[in-house]
Amino acid sequence: MITYIEHATISPEQAIDLYTRSTLGERRPINSIEAFTAMLANANLTISAWDDEKLVGISRSLTDFAYVAYLADLAVDEQYQRQGIGKQLIEETKKRLGPSCMIVLLAAPKANTYYEHLGFEHNPRAWTMKNNSA
């Protein structure tokens, strides 16, 4: 049975292990404990999925809880995918947001078709800047 926990204590090592076991590790700084420490500490809404003591999923968001939530990471261990864990992580996130709060995310290339069946609308107006150095 999968348990969902808000703001569980997750070590950077546990998170890196999960991201490596999901396809998200390909696009995250899994070689930097410092980056993962900051990513976990500074997200203000984190929902995690656990199979007993094993971290099998995470939804990590930055939000004002009223207008917008940026779903920065949705990762599920590849061995646990297609069991509804990602969908439930999003539902658990939505439960904690205000009724008019929208969720915005940038889909990983391999997950681009995943979000439409969950009710997300495609928006081609997203822009990214890789870092803040000129």
- Tell me, yes or no, whether 62 lies in a domain: yes
Q: How many domains does the chain have?
A: 1
DSSP-derived letter for residue 26 is: G
Q: Which of 33-42, 78-87, 125-134 has the lowest mean pLDDT?
A: 125-134
Range(s) of the domain holding residue 73:
2-118
- Tell me, yes or no, whether 103 lies in a domain: yes
pLDDT score at 128: 76
Contacts of 9 (CB under 8 A, 6+ apart): none
pLDDT score at 132: 67
For 75-127, how does the pLDDT look when each residue is reduced to its tens digit (9 = 90+)? 999 999 999 999 999 999 999 999 999 999 988 777 777 888 788 888 888 87
- Tell me, yes or no, whether 133 lies in a domain: no
CATH at residue 68: 3.40.630.30
Average pLDDT, the chain: 91
- Tell me, yes or no, whether 126 lies in a domain: no
Tell me the CA distances in angstroms from 101 to 32, 37, 48, 66, one per residue in order.
32, 27, 20, 5
| H-run or E-run covering 66 | none
- Are residues 57 and 77 in contact, defined by beta-carbon separation less than 8 angstroms? yes
Evaluate if pTM is beyond 0.85.
yes
pLDDT score at 2: 97
3-state secondary structure of 94: helix
For 8-21, how does the pLDDT look when each residue is reduced to its tens digit (9 = 90+)? 999 999 999 999 99
